[in-house]
A and B are shown apart, each in its own frame.
Chain A
Amino acid sequence: MKNKNRRDFLKTVGTVGATGIAAAVGGDTSVAGQSPAGSPAGRVLLDPAGGPVSHAYTFLTAPEAAFIEAAVDRFIPADDLTPGGTDCGVAVFIDRQLAGAWGSGDRTYMQGPWQKGVPTQGYQSPLTPAEFFRAGIAATNAYCRKTLQKDFDRLTVEQQNKVLQDMEQGRVTFEGTVPAQEFFNLLLGTAMQGFFADPIYGGNRDKAAWKMIGFPGVIAIYSEHIKTYRNKKYDVEPKSILDLS
């Protein structure tokens, strides 16, 4: 999908209203030149309902978006079960979460003083989740440049998997404020939220994750089915909040 920006962009211009065009143009032209891999900031994906939808990123810079897209494609690789994480909207989901209330530290006690603490005491960073992500992406790329001479998104798939596994297992130490393993856990956790949450948040496009596991979604009236579907598969087209709104 990465090299299809321009084509999808033109498709968008042809069909959506003025606001959508302005957003897509802004996203595309302002960052395209800075991203050698082609700009992820101007990505356009097809809406499950068939119409084109702009997916310009609002929080992530182009290099950050390239990182997140690569990471979610490693977490959720394309296979016969679902498209890859990016094509399932997981990068868009993360971007919107970071741009929104949660990323800004909503429902988080942000007062000092700050101490490291032990893992059983939970999140103790003075950074908001959005700031933590930004620092974590920068630290991961710095680590990749130092050890492999390239940013994370430019590594081979095998190299990317290795870096993520090393972060997950606590085998690498980042310079700076963000511990590698902690960043990994937040990144993975947020990606999984995006993959499995209602598509209303931008991830789980076309309810791919729900179809993959057999979760029927939000209608959920099982007064009779609790008896009739004992040890029997309940095969229905899942319904989301998006579908019913």
Chain B
Amino acid sequence: MTTRLREVDVVIVGLGWTGGILAKELSEAGMRVVALERGGMRGTNPDFAIPQIRDELKYAVRNHLMQNPARDTLTFRHSPTEPSLPMRQLGSFLPGEGLGGAGVHWNGVTWRWTGIDHAARSYYEQRYGKSFIPSDMPIQDWPMTYAELEPYYDKFERTAGVSGKAGNIRGTKQTGGNFFEQPRDRDYPLPALEPSYSQILFNDATAQMGYHPFPRPCANASRAYTNPDGSHLGACVYCGHCERFGCEANAKGSPHITVIPKAMAQPSFELRTHSWVTKVMLDSTKKKAIGVAYTDVSTGEEYEQPAAIVALCAYAINNVHLMLLSGIGTPYDATTQKGIVGKNYCYQPGGGGVTLFFEDRIFNPFMATGAFGIAIDDFHANDQFDRAAMSALGGATINVGQSNGRPIGYRPVPAGTPRWGAAWKKATAKWYLRAMNIGVTASNMPNRYNAYDLDPTYKNVFGQPLLRLTYNFLENDKKVIGYVAQKAAEIARSLKPASMTGPGMLGDYNIVPYQSTHNTGGAIMGSSPGNSALNKYLQSWDVPNVFVLGASAFPHNSAYNPTGPVGALAYWTADAIKTKFRNRPGLMT
């Protein structure tokens, strides 16, 4: 019953940021590219048109732009000794589904990761000694340096229309930018957005305390912009409906308005929506992929799409799932610590933030963008920050954004206020406009037990095993949050609020409340098949004509958001395929 289709050069699984970049770059190079997107077609008009897009219930609460867990989800437990149960509804993170993927409904924070991130193991070994790294923390260096990736970061920033202020151009520090950033070749394509009142207060307070505040880089266009490919972005209107929504103004750098239309203009590119890839097909040696099997979920018909190159560009979680379902690489076993695929799952601990309440200040939290903000990196990118003081690896940024003053989700009240009734109403009415938040976003180091494998019990709609996630916040995370949260509280107190809540302690990981869609690892890159699933070109060591893009490749998670390096690495991989693999297929060195 399966229809076998004609072979193409490249089949791309999932058409978000990474799939879109690959689709554009490879089809423009004349390769025949088919993209299979399991969700539907969508675009700014009419799908994200006002007024309907400003529907908090539909988009921010019922998650209408995201993966539908009724069809496929994962199971979750804190440790290998506990029963793993399905994540029956979305909560903690929101994988995308449909054209553009999560790149449609992200906030837009677009970092270049730090020099320490690129050299995660060697930095700590050199500065603090080998014994500083716990034996159950399998951190490792990235297989390429920041300097190697710099031109690709630059390319992604220009594609996505990132607004910001450089802190270091070719070694010269720039006033107003991130004092601790790695050298960049040139400034951001767009100036920083206008700061909110809360951000100005934070900026001034942290500067006075001797920290180094700067505008957080964000793919919310501060003015109308045409990117190098000729894609047009509008200017951000600070509407406060960014994360979980599509942007009606085309002001959020998103693949559906940039790289995807460019790919679609190429005759050698074909998009098939509602096409759910269930497996990468391998030949009898298991060393070569021959294509993918997929189901058209609008008809139920099954297809095989042969291809010379298979690029997994689904959401980070689903890439790992597909590898395990397809038998690409050796599955990781936390008990024996043998195998690779599924290893080093990381997330992003928060919880160290504080909310400040002022009798006499008005913050208008609805005047907001997804990503604008003022941050300090003194406890993260700063390689002089003494990690021995907190007895932990990694760090955290402290920041003030203002992204979601929407009233179902954002209703700050002082500690001790009831959750309902007359006193709750009075407090909500009083404080909605008069509160601001200082956030703490921490890095997350891998642990041997924080990993994915296939669930032995639960199945998806195709009868395949769900992915099983074993994960918890651990000692290192609690120390980082505990330490940096106190710094955030000091900053907050210097602003003399009438009262403040937090910082809280980091407890067990909870999959219910939203935290971030920053799931990393599982198909990690590294220097050898012994320590990684992918080489430096995100190419499978085991099946070299399979490439696995996205944050699944990160061996640990930074205190930064993942999309900057996700985009940069997609351009990096596209380049390697065009200039190396295409001429000489096989494992690249």
Partner-B contacts on A (CB < 8 A): 74-77, 79, 81-82, 102, 105-111, 113, 115, 117-124, 161, 164, 168, 188, 191-193, 196-198, 200-201, 209-210, 212-223, 225-227, 229-234, 240-241, 244-245
Give Cα A213 to B434, complex, Å: 10
Q: Given A75-B421, A108-B70, A210–B407 Cβ distance below 8 Å?
A: yes
Chain A residue nearest to B92 in the complex (CB)? A122
Chain A binder among B55-63, B267-275, B551-559: B55-63
Listed A/B pairs (14) with beta-carbon separation below 8 Å = A107-B89, A111-B458, A111-B459, A118-B82, A121-B87, A188-B420, A198-B55, A209-B407, A215-B406, A215-B407, A222-B238, A225-B364, A226-B367, A234-B364
In the complex, the answer to whether B425 meets A82 with C-beta atoms within 8 Å is: yes
Chain A residue nearest to B511 in the complex (CB)? A122
Give Cα A231 to B90, complex, Å: 36
Residues in chain B near residue A201, CB distance under 8 A: 57
Give Cα A216 to B433, complex, Å: 11
In angstroms, how far is the closest chain B Cβ from the Cβ of A186?
Answer: 11
In angstroms, how far is the closest chain A Cβ from the Cβ of B160?
Answer: 20
Query: Mostly helix, strand, loop or mixed at chain B's interface?
Result: loop
Chain B residue nearest to A185 in the complex (CB)? B419
Residues in chain A near residue B508, CB distance under 8 A: 120
Give Cα A223 to B193, complex, Å: 10
What 18 additional pairs, Cβ within 8 angstroms, besides A120-B508, A161-B421, A218-B54?
A: A77-B422, A108-B70, A108-B88, A109-B70, A111-B86, A120-B511, A122-B88, A124-B85, A192-B411, A196-B56, A197-B408, A213-B433, A214-B432, A214-B433, A218-B50, A225-B238, A233-B433, A241-B54
Residues of B213-259 contacting chain A, CB below 8 A: 235-241
In the complex, the answer to whether A110 meets B408 with C-beta atoms within 8 Å is: no
Residues in chain A near residue B432, CB distance under 8 A: 213-215
B416-436 vs A, CB cutoff 8 Å, 1 = contact: the mask equals 000111100110110011000
In the complex, the answer to whether B63 meets A107 with C-beta atoms within 8 Å is: yes
Most buried by A among B91, B236, B366: B366
In angstroms, how far is the closest chain B Cβ from the Cβ of A88?
Answer: 11
In the complex, the answer to whether B51 meets A222 with C-beta atoms within 8 Å is: no
Residues in chain A near residue B447, CB distance under 8 A: none
Give Cα A233 to B362, complex, Å: 6
B50-78 vs A, CB cutoff 8 Å, 1 = contact: the mask equals 11101111000111000011100100111
Q: Given A108-B69, A241-B54, A77–B425 Cβ distance below 8 Å?
A: yes
In the complex, the answer to whether B55 meets A121 with C-beta atoms within 8 Å is: no
In the complex, the answer to whether B421 meets A220 with C-beta atoms within 8 Å is: no
Give Cα A230 to B194, complex, Å: 11
Give Cα A120 to B366, complex, Å: 30
In the complex, the answer to whether A102 meets B62 with C-beta atoms within 8 Å is: yes
Is B405 interfacial (CB-CB < 8 Å)?
yes
In the complex, the answer to whether B88 meets A198 with C-beta atoms within 8 Å is: no
In the complex, the answer to whether B425 meets A109 with C-beta atoms within 8 Å is: no
The interface size of chain B toward A, counting residues with CB under 8 Å, comes to 67
Residues in chain B near residue A215, CB distance under 8 A: 366, 405-407, 432
In the complex, the answer to whether A121 meets B76 with C-beta atoms within 8 Å is: yes
Give Cα A124 to B562, complex, Å: 30
In angstroms, how far is the closest chain A Cβ from the Cβ of B100?
Answer: 19
Is B457 interfacial (CB-CB < 8 Å)?
yes
Chain B residue nearest to A209 in the complex (CB)? B407
Give Cα A213 to B366, complex, Å: 11
Give Cα A119 to B76, complex, Å: 12
Chain A residue nearest to B64 in the complex (CB)? A107
Give Cα A161 to B422, complex, Å: 11
Partner of A122, one of B89, B194, B196, B237: B89
In the complex, the answer to whether A74 meets B421 with C-beta atoms within 8 Å is: yes
Residues of B71-111 contacting chain A, CB below 8 A: 73, 76-78, 82-83, 85-91
Residues in chain B near residue A82, CB distance under 8 A: 425
In the complex, the answer to whether A109 meets B420 with C-beta atoms within 8 Å is: no
Chain A residue nearest to B423 in the complex (CB)? A77
In the complex, the answer to whether A121 meets B367 with C-beta atoms within 8 Å is: no
In the complex, the answer to whether A200 meets B55 with C-beta atoms within 8 Å is: yes
Residues in chain B near residue A109, CB distance under 8 A: 69-70, 73, 86-89
Chain B residue nearest to A187 in the complex (CB)? B420
In angstroms, how far is the closest chain B Cβ from the Cβ of A245?
Answer: 7
Give Cα A222 to B54, complex, Å: 14
Is B501 interfacial (CB-CB < 8 Å)?
no
Partner of B509, one of A120, A168, A218: A120
Residues in chain B near residue A230, CB distance under 8 A: 196-197, 200
